[in-house]
Amino acid sequence: MSTTALMPPPSAYGPRRDEIFDITMGNSEQPLGALHHVQDGPTECSEFSFDRRWLGRNLLFSPSPDLRCHPHGQWRTRPLGQGSPFFAALADTQPDGFAHALLERALGEATLTTHPLAGLEPRALVSLCATHDLCRLGALRIRPRNPALTVSGRRFDLPFTADLDTMARAAAAFERGEADERQTRLLLFSATALGGSRPKVCFVQSAEKQDGGTLAVARLPSVADRYPVAKAEMLLGQLAREVGIRVVDMALKNLCNATVLITQRLDRDMDGGRKPYLSARSLLLAEEGEEPDWLDLLAVMRTCSKVFGADARQLWLRLVFMRLINARVSLGKFGFVYRSFARWELAPATALRPAMEPECQPAQSHIPGPGLRWDVDQLLRQSVAFGIPQNEARTLLKRMVEVIGRWKVKAEQYPVRMTSTDVASLEAVLDNPQLRQAREMVGGRRA
For the ranges 124-133, 316-325, 378-387, which has the lowest average pLDDT? 124-133
Are 144 and 159 in the same domain?
A: no
Residue 304 backbone dihedrals phi, psi, to 5 degrees: -130, -5
Closest C-alpha among 299, 264, 263, 262 to residue 280: 299
Residue 270 lies in a domain: no
User: What is the full DSSP assignment across 372-431?
Assistant: T---HHHHHHTGGGGT--HHHHHHHHHHHHHHHHTHHHHHHSTTT---HHHHHHHHHHHS
Q: Is the pLDDT of residue 365 over 80?
A: no
Distance from C-alpha of 384 to C-alpha of 60, rounded to nearest angstrom: 34
State if pTM tops 0.85: yes
Distance from C-alpha of 15 to C-alpha of 295, rounded to nearest angstrom: 44
Residue 230's CATH number? 3.30.200
Among candidate residues 264, 299, 316, the one where a domain is terminated: 264
Distance from C-alpha of 127 to C-alpha of 347, rounded to nearest angstrom: 24
Residue 271 lies in a domain: no
For residue range 385-409, what is the model confidence (pLDDT) as tens digits? Answer: 999 999 999 999 999 999 999 999 9
Are 34 and 84 in the same domain?
A: yes
Cβ pair 69, 51 in contact under 8 A: no
Residue 50 backbone dihedrals phi, psi, to 5 degrees: -70, 145
pLDDT band at 368 (very low <50, low <70, confident <90, very high): very low
Cβ pair 48, 57 in contact under 8 A: no
pLDDT band at 107 (very low <50, low <70, confident <90, very high): confident
Residue 424's CATH number? 1.10.1070
Give the pLDDT of residue 271: 84
Q: Is the pLDDT of residue 444 over 60?
A: no
Distance from C-alpha of 320 to C-alpha of 376, rounded to nearest angstrom: 6
Are 138 and 208 in the same domain?
A: no
If one compares 354 and 42, the residue with the highest pLDDT of the two is: 354
Give the pLDDT of residue 290: 81
Distance from C-alpha of 380 to C-alpha of 320, rounded to nearest angstrom: 8
Angle between helix axes 308-324 and 390-405 (nearest 10 degrees) is: 40
Q: Is the pLDDT of residue 203 over 90?
A: yes
Cβ pair 38, 16 in contact under 8 A: yes
pLDDT band at 446 (very low <50, low <70, confident <90, very high): very low
Closest C-alpha among 157, 161, 171 to residue 254: 161
Domain that holds residue 74: 4-148
Give the pLDDT of residue 10: 52
Amino acid at 46: S
Amino acid at 240: A
User: What is the full DSSP assignment across 80-120?
Assistant: GG-S-SS-HHHHTTS--HHHHHHHIIIIIT-SSTTSTTTT-
Are 212 and 117 in the same domain?
A: no
How many structural domains compose the chain?
Answer: 3
Are 321 and 368 in the same domain?
A: yes
For residue range 280-298, what is the model confidence (pLDDT) as tens digits? Answer: 999 999 987 787 889 999 9
Are 369 and 413 in the same domain?
A: yes
Among candidate residues 229, 264, 299, the one where a domain is terminated: 264
Are 288 and 415 in the same domain?
A: yes
Among candidate residues 120, 148, 176, the one where a domain is terminated: 148
Residue 170 lies in a domain: yes
Q: Is the pLDDT of residue 55 over 50?
A: yes
Return the percentage of the chain with pLDDT > 90, whole number.
66
Are 143 and 248 in the same domain?
A: no
Strand-pair partners of 74 = 5, 48
Are 120 and 179 in the same domain?
A: no
Q: Is the pLDDT of residue 212 over 60?
A: no
For the ranges 49-58, 88-97, 108-117, 143-152, which has the lowest average pLDDT? 108-117
Closest C-alpha among 331, 326, 263 to residue 293: 331
CA distances from 187 to 52, 151, 163 (A): 37, 14, 12
- DSSP reduced 3-state for 103: helix
pLDDT band at 214 (very low <50, low <70, confident <90, very high): confident
Backbone φ/ψ region at 234: left (φ over 0), alpha (ψ -120 to 50), beta: alpha
